Amino acid sequence: MLELIVRYTGDIKRLAEELGFLAEELLGGYAIVRIRPELAPLLLSAEEILWTEVPARVYTEVASGRREACVTTLQAREPNLTGRGVLVAVIDSGIDYTHPDFRNEDGTTRIAALWDQTADRQEGMASGQRGAIPDTVQSEGGESYTNTPPEGYLDGVLYTRERIDAALRGERTANGESLVPEADLSGHGTHVAGIAAGNGKASGGYYRGVAYESELLVVKIGGTQADPFPQTTNLMAAVDFCVRYAAGRPVSINLSFGNNEGAHDGQSLLETYLDTVALYGKTCICIGTGNNAALGWHEGGNFGRRDDDEGRESVGEELRPKMEERDILLSVGPAERRLRMGLWLSSLDTIEVSLISPSGTVRRLPVNTRQSGNREEITGVAGTGGTAIKGYPAASGLVFSFGSSVAEVFVGEATPYRSIREIGITLQGDSGELEAGTWRIRLRPVRILEGGYDIWIVGGVQSTATRFLQATPERTLTIPSTAERPIAVAAYDGRTDSITSFSGRGYPGRGVGNSGVKPDLAAPGVDIVSCAPGGGYTTKTGTSMATPFVTGCAALLMQWGITEGNDPYLYGERLKSFLIRGARALTGVTEVPNPYVGWGTVCVAESYRLLRNEE
């Protein structure tokens, strides 16, 4: 089955029945469609379909922190903010629901619901098909439970509070199996949940999280056994579920996933969906900016003008300044087999693009679908190359030979949603490893109106030596932290009050397709101790650890504002603005906002003080 993200108008249920595909209807006119590949052209020709995108993988971004985020003072005395009455939603790798920090004093669970999207998937089965587990199970005591996803969704099993409590009491199925077989194998989601909302019960309160009396809403996202990484579609369905489940209750949603698959301009369907759903209900969405700043996976800039004697060219009767050529130098380390990149250019500019292998082979790549050159037509699966109709890549693409290596090229065009275009380049070994050494992507400007360019390594990296040699650490936020309305959270080192080398950086100046200020805030993200599967604690570092501090801080303010009736509109953009206004400057960083920590580091006590002063 082919999976697509769809933006539509009208009645998609009627279209699904007519064409015979599965659809998960999301909020705001978005949907996730699963359709047989041969039916895709019919779907794209339908008037109801406005635009589509192929989903991409997303990856995790892997006690003193409470003090640095100014949480301790609000927990220790009046107003005693603990997250009571607020849902904290953690969309991640799952949770150890047996951990004492996620249980009440009487041993019952603090988890309102746990949706395991992976529960019914088996290797070799099409997404959306039922797995081998039965639709219902019976406990030893005769209670019946359903093994079905939430209503309106296609994957997994929704475990209710009652079912989790039964499992915590030691009840099992009639054949002796666990009533709730969900497990957090990586420990990432358990760690994140502990920072945002753990009550510290297993440590006598010492490793308590931020909103430690909130209710937890957990979604475990993931793929199949054949491809264990979750897709953007899994993430979108999870957010949609959390907002719908809250049904008007205040909910603070934590996302610690991201990727480089896109223009980083806030205009993909994933990003615009998050902007849309952030306005539904009483919602706050916090997203980590990723850990890519020091990896060398991005290069970007603007074409400069040549000032030498040959720096002018004739255009008709006019002499115009020539623009400098740019060589993007890509070091490819050993043992690489397949490497994907996305080069983004303004659709207003005319640029020739050539690819040069380490051994000196030169191939000029097409920059529009009418160009011809040294290439062969190939056929393959959707997404390997070609032009696009309503965003969906054609099945045929372009391949260029470099001896022992090949380059597959997808040529994109401007869309109804953005004026920039992508040239997707996939390098791979013809029958083994990709040629190691320095590859060059040569950009020769022909006619420049804007002049910006960005290129990101999207995926496939195996070696630390694989990187751009003139990398740009700015604009290394991972998608979807590039969406406008969610709070993009960077990491800083709370021990030294300094920036980190790894935290994804934002927009110090205009890049191709650049949006506004990102990140919004920073929080502690180095050597953070939190919950681990099995009942203990462990230390992790990354923007994944910074994000739940802000998620929890948002829940504290929502408790004071919404649950306790002091400010019933304290959600969305209003809540975000007070978190930003309360941020403090980082030591030695004088420019605000800046690409490292945005408007500053979160200080929820100052945000609370500013709110009280408005009363």
Query: What is the structure's pLDDT at 580?
Result: 96
One domain for residues 64 and 182? yes
One domain for residues 437 and 389? yes
User: For residues 40 and 412, what is the distance between their CA atoms, to the nearest angstrom?
Assistant: 19
Q: What angle, rounded to 10 degrees, do the helices at 604-614 and 572-581 form?
A: 110
Please report, for the domain that includes residue 223, its CATH number: 3.40.50.200
Q: How many domains does the chain divide into?
A: 3
One domain for residues 388 and 501? no
Distance of CA 88 to the CA centre of its chain: 18
Residue 474 lies in a domain: no
Query: What is the structure's pLDDT at 499?
Result: 94
DSSP state of 497: T
Query: What is the structure's pLDDT at 387?
Result: 56
Domain range for 48? 2-54
Q: Determine phi and psi for 242, rounding to 5 degrees.
A: -60, -45
Residue 528 · residue 190 · CB < 8 Å? no
One domain for residues 511 and 453? no
According to DSSP, the residues that pair with 440 across neighbouring strands are: 329, 356
One domain for residues 277 and 306? no
Query: Which among 468, 498, 513 is the end of a domain?
Result: 468
User: For residues 555 and 250, what is the distance between their CA atoms, to the nearest angstrom?
Assistant: 8
Query: Which among 407, 442, 468 is the end of a domain?
Result: 468
One domain for residues 42 and 83? no
Residue 479 lies in a domain: no
Query: What is the structure's pLDDT at 415?
Result: 84
Report the number of secondary-structure helices (H) and strands (E) in the chain. Answer: 11, 35
Q: Which of 424, 472, 426, 419 has its CA nearest to residue 450?
A: 419
Query: What is the structure's pLDDT at 210?
Result: 97
User: For residues 594 and 604, what is the distance between their CA atoms, to the nearest angstrom?
Assistant: 20
Residues 6+ apart with CB under 8 A from 523: 65, 68, 69, 489, 490, 491, 492, 546, 547, 549, 550, 601, 602
Query: What is the structure's pLDDT at 515?
Result: 46
One domain for residues 117 and 179? yes
Please report, for the domain that includes residue 35, its CATH number: 3.30.70.80
**Average pLDDT for runs of 10 along the chain of length 615:** 94 95 96 94 93 87 65 74 97 97 98 94 41 79 92 96 97 92 95 98 96 98 69 96 97 94 92 97 97 96 62 50 84 94 93 96 78 37 50 72 92 85 92 93 93 91 95 95 96 94 79 68 96 97 97 98 97 97 91 93 96 79
Query: What is the structure's pLDDT at 64?
Result: 53
Query: What is the structure's pLDDT at 379?
Result: 30
One domain for residues 415 and 456? yes
Query: Which among 34, 54, 74 is the end of a domain?
Result: 54
One domain for residues 324 and 261? no
Query: What is the structure's pLDDT at 614?
Result: 66
Whole-prediction pTM: 0.91
DSSP 3-state assignment of 424?
Answer: strand
One domain for residues 318 and 280? no
Query: What is the structure's pLDDT at 227?
Result: 60
DSSP state of 565: S
Residue with tokens 């629901």: 97
One domain for residues 281 and 309? no
